[in-house]
Every structure is written in C-alpha cells, then in structure tokens.
Amino acid sequence: MSFPQGFTAQVARCGLKSNGDPELAVVRSQVPCQAAGVFTTNRVAAAPVRYCQQLLRRASDMVSAVVINSKNANAVTGPQGERDCARLAALVDPGDVLTMSTGVIGQPMPMAVYEKGLNELIPAEPELLARAMMTTDTYPKVVVREFQGTRWLGVAKGAGMIHPDMATLLCLVITDAAIPAAELQQALNEANQVSFQCITVDGDTSTNDSLLVLANGAAACTPVEWPSILRQVLMDLARMVAFDGEGARHRVTLHVSGLSRDDEARQVGRVVLTSPLVKTAIAGKDANWGRILAAAGRSGVVFEPTEAALWWNGLKLLDGGAPTNPGSEAEARAVEGQEVELRLQLGQGLGKATVWSCDLTHDYVSINGDYRT
C-alpha cells in the first residue's frame, strides 16, 4: 500500500503504549494542500479541534502537514492545552500544520515526550501510520483506492465514544487529485452524512472528533466522479470503526426504509442501534423484535406501527406490526453468526438509510472501567 504522490508519513515510538506501537505521527505533503474538515459538535471541544477549525477558516489551501498524537486528548486542558497544540504544530513545520489528538481527557500533554518523539521520527507505511493513531482499537483501519489516475488513502481510529455528530474518531484522507478547497469541503460534508454520521457504538460523542481531507494536486488531474470515491473511502472506514466497537462480538448493519425522508431513517437507525436493550439482545443472540420496534417508537420520527416489518438475517420476525412467530429453531439459526443484518420497514415512503454498529458486552464495561489505569 503506497501513499498518494507527494505525500510521506513518519511515526515515533514515545514509550507511552505498553504494546510498543508508535504514539506520534506526521503526514507531510511536498506541496501545499487544499484541505477540508468536519469536527465534533460537542461544546467541550479539544484544543486540536479548535486549532484546526481556525486554521481552515484562514488557510484551507495552504496546509503542509498533519501531526497526530495518541494517549492524550489535549481536551479540558485550559490555556496550556492551546499553547501545547500550537507548539506541536510549529515544531513540525513553520507553515500551516493541522493537529489531531486522542486519548485520555483532562490530563496535560506530556510535551517533553512528544518533542523528543519529533526528533526520532522514522518513515512509516500506511498500517504503521494507522497504528500510531490507535487507542482501544483492535486493528489498524486503512483504505486505499486508485481512481482514474489518482490515489486515495484513508486511515482512521475509533472504538469507543462513537456516535453521530461525530464520534471518538480521528480520520485522515489524503489524495493526489487536484480539488479546490471549497469543493472538497462540500463533498466531505455530503459524504460524512452517509458514513460517519451513520455509525454508533455507545451513544457518546467525543471532544476530539476530527475528519480531515487533504488534496495536493500532484497527480495533475481531477476525476469527474471523485466525490463518489471519497464517499466510498469514508463508508469503508466508518464500518471498520463501528464493527470494532470496544468489547464487540457482533457486527451490526441496520437498513431502515419506508419513511418520508432519508434523515428520518437515519434518526430511527441511530436510536435503535444506540439502545442498550437492543445491543444487549444482539450480544445474547436474542431476536427480540420488541426492543427494536420500541426503540424506533421513541426516535421522534412519526410512523404507523401497524405498517412495521422487521427481518433479522433474512428471517421475518415482524409483519404489519405483529409477530410472525417463526419458531425458536428458525430464530436460533438466524442469530447464530457474528454478522447481524437487520431490515426495518416502516411504511411506504422513499426515505431510507443504512446504519452500522455493534453489540454491547461485559467487555465494554471492563475496558472503560479501567481506561485511565
């Protein structure tokens, strides 16, 4: 897996991770990039989020690099956090450098450790770059695409505090396509709606969510259909994040249809797959259609329950708002695998959405109960 033209990556092992993975990464472009970003809507936004937002407002066509650190979120760290963020960027390059951080909230940045790491950077392939971003992820999330003479690389991290608007998520997409910043931002906003806005693990949004896209134009071409490639890269990464939820044992895909608008279908899907009762039923291999319909009913979206139908891995459990009673043996077969595909039909409208998530297990509690220790 090679990088798009004109991009390189380096990482450093700073000794903060017990498994020896790197905690610091720098992605550079040989020429200034056009850049776009989407960030958390949590009012308690981390210093790197605010730093990136300010930079993109003044210089979205002059970004030279991105610096990423894990093990410390630099969130709720006051004025010192702002200074640390700016210093980390300045040490990478005197130009315009975007910053992303992930890790424990409310603790000062170990700047001496990261500054030392910047002096010990080594070249990194995409997988090692993704590992530098990881916290509780179980594997590096990398997507590579070739499209009409351009190359696209996406890396992401996220496993807990995952929910729309956005998630405990860091995602960086780089491409050598030539795309103006304004067009890149518009396409990113639209692609985000059908990717990271359609995943949930636990219903918690984060202080640090950052989704960045950089285009340096080194390929000297702009494919007409480039927004579709960006959308596919983000959807692939979003599914990886949702399915790698902390402690997860089941990968869940929910298709919602039959509503007036797509955003209504997304809202129903988010509420259903955030429900602890639905998620624990999936963990326990219990085809509990009642929990799913009840969660849809409190979503705030208007539908007629007597028109509802539900399928679990192809087995119809609900029809016309009433149970089909397929029998315990049929249900046991339908819920056996780790892949769970739910299809919820709520009427005759054209609005539809697909939402991705995972189950909720005892391991989730264990991971988060011990997170700071």
Active site residues: 168
Task: Return d(Cα 131, Cα 128) in angstroms, integer.
Answer: 5
Task: Return d(Cα 24, Cα 250) in angstroms, integer.
Answer: 31
Dig out the tokens for 107 from the structure. 């603790």
CA 363: distance to chain centroid? 21
CA 343: distance to chain centroid? 23
| Contact (CB, 8 A) for 233 and 143 | yes
| Contact (CB, 8 A) for 339 and 251 | yes
Instruction: Indicate if the alpha-carbon torsion angle 298, 302, 304, 307 is positive or negative.
Output: negative
Dig out the tokens for 24 from the structure. 């610091």
Task: Return d(Cα 117, Cα 131) in angstroms, integer.
Answer: 15
For 31, other C-beta atoms within 10 Å of its C-beta total 10
